[in-house]
Structure 1
Amino acid sequence: MEFVSEKIYVPNNLSFISRRLQLSSNARIHSHKNFELNYIISGVGRRIVGDKISGFEKGDLVLLGPDLPHCWELLDIENGEKPICIVTHFSENIIDSNFFGMPELKKVVALLKFANRGIRFKTEDDVIKKLLNDLPESKGLDYYIKLLKVLNHLIKVEDKESLSNPINAFNHFSKSTERINKVYEYVFQNIQEGIKLEEVAVILNMAPSSFCRFFKNKTGLTFISYVNNVRVGIAAKLLAETDKKITEICYESGYNNLANFNHYFKTSMNETPSDYRKNFR
């Protein structure tokens, strides 16, 4: 099955990003450079990781390494609850940092390396769940400390399983992925100033029409849809984690008028920006 490569937006002033996201019944297989820690708050469905398919349910906790194709597809909602997961993304280069070179973090590094096949942690540890629930609303140093505490608990979990065979079969996708990553970098760097189709097409030495066909073929999205998804993602984080006015968030996420912002946000998230904020308070 074809999958898409994504770039996860992590603000420049953060080393990782943790969000509450709604599960979908039409999720697509995708991969990204970042590590991902996925915790299911509610919902039941099918999980695809690498070359294996299995089920997931409330309490499911999985760590994925970079470039590992995956998908969480919602099949049922538990007791009428809104199907929610907490997803934390952090850099694929975290292992190479000087901080993670400390002897005390040796077991954490080993765990992260093992995550190239995907790891499911079979644990009922309430401390881990509490930390993960608190992550999206945390700030500053407390944000990073809680992530380290989560990793500290995960290395102590004895009952865990690999979710995939080693993945080496996606090299044919790497050249296209490299080109798409250039587009992602352009979008993240210019999201507030304005995105110009002609400029991004030049990056790949393509005419705008050829670029649009290439991007849709490789990602499954039109370029405009992708840009709007990034903007909505930025807005959702600001709505959930700050007290900034919705008008201010509209412009910070790259929209030049409130009507467009409200339209695209509701289309993507199935609720207005103000309702989305209320659900996280």
Structure 2
Amino acid sequence: MEYIFEKIYVPHQHSFITREMELKKNSARVHSHKNYELNFILSGSGKRIVGNNISAFEKNDLVLMAPNLPHCWEITHTDTNDTPRCIVIHFYENLITSDFFNKPELETIVDLLREAEAGIFFNGPIVTQIKELLKDLTQKKGLESYIGLLNIFNLLNKCDKREFLSQQPTPGSAFDKDFNQINKIYEYVFKNIHEEIKLNEVSSLLNMAPGSFCRFFKKKTQLTFMEYVIKIRIGYAAKMLAETNKQISEIGYDCGYNNLANFNHYFRKVMKKTPSEYRKEFR
């Protein structure tokens, strides 16, 4: 599984950028970036990765994500008459600390953006209203576009049907300072998910002793390193259970578990159900 840290270009004369984009099949990559993202699916369906959560997505799904949260939308089904597309807004990570947002009337928006560290899925009739505002926003410029963005945030705040997607606890503000180091670890885990992950090798990436590395990782992510590895492995296993016909034992092996009992134990611990129960949901 490929994982990249993506740099989103937001022109200097703008605080955010809105684009309608095509979702191309077989080109999805797990990535993260230093921008907030609001993602609305216009057409297409498939599997969505947000943090350590893997779930299905479909037309009219709406998700808000904070900076540095790994994510991916992978198209698995397309309508022959409708190209998979989405509307995406990227805006600066320092938006909520700007003087403009330092107003009592905007406190609820700031709170919402902080909650987005776990990834928020919005549902219900109000999403239909947001869809129309998003379409209009792709055509607006200047002050009109900023007013349009505030109108969207106003509706997001009113949406009481929301779900936190990521199972990973939200990192603290210190995460941003050390993101490059943490990103090295994330990349290593994704690239070596099939193999035995050795603590000595991982800690050497940051030129740390194993004990120092473990304390550093826990402080910056609120997870022990092995807790993180388990969640990523189980998330990858869930993806294969949903998308392939491989034997459960083979999937466990592909995710680094040589013992089926261990695989079943950790899968149930993370997903709250057995691998076979999870697979039945996609059959």
Q: TM-score, length-normalised on structure 1?
A: 0.60
Matches of 2:132 and 2:117, distance apart in 1: 26
8 A contact 1:50–1:167 mirrored in 2: no
Matches of 1:5 and 1:176, distance apart in 2: 11
Structure 1: which 5+ runs fail to align?
A: 179-281
Q: Which of 143, 155, 166 is the aligned partner of 1:141?
A: 143
Query: Aligned residue for 1:164?
Result: 166
Matches of 1:173 and 1:151, distance apart in 2: 27
Q: Does 1:174 align with 2:207?
A: no
After superposition, the C-alpha distances for 1:196-239 in whole angstroms (9 at most, x for unaligned) are: xxxxxxxxxxxxxxxxxxxxxxxxxxxxxxxxxxxxxxxxxxxx
Size of the alignment, in residue pairs?
Answer: 178
Matches of 1:129 and 1:64, distance apart in 2: 17
Q: Which amino acid aligns with 1:38?
A: N
Q: TM-score, length-normalised on structure 2?
A: 0.59
Helix, strand or coil at the partner of 1:161: strand
After superposition, the C-alpha distances for 1:50-86 in whole angstroms (9 at most, x for unaligned) are: 0110011000000000000000001111362011000
Q: Does 1:71 align with 2:72?
A: yes
Helix, strand or coil at the partner of 1:155: helix
After superposition, the C-alpha distances for 1:10-34 in whole angstroms (9 at most, x for unaligned) are: 1111110000011122200000000
After superposition, the C-alpha distances for 1:150-205 in whole angstroms (9 at most, x for unaligned) are: 00000010010001022559998623869xxxxxxxxxxxxxxxxxxxxxxxxxxx
Matches of 1:132 and 1:173, distance apart in 2: 31
Query: Aligned residue for 2:103?
Result: 102
In the TM superposition, residue 128 of structure 1 has moved relative to its aligned partner by: 1.0
Query: Aligned residue for 1:118?
Result: 119
Query: Aligned residue for 1:24?
Result: 24
Structure 2: which 5+ runs fail to align?
A: 185-283
Aligned residues with identical type, % of pairs: 51
Query: Aligned residue for 1:198?
Result: none
Matches of 2:151 and 2:170, distance apart in 1: 29
Q: Please, what is the CA RMSD of the aligned residues? A: 2.1
8 A contact 1:27–1:73 mirrored in 2: yes
Matches of 2:65 and 2:41, distance apart in 1: 14
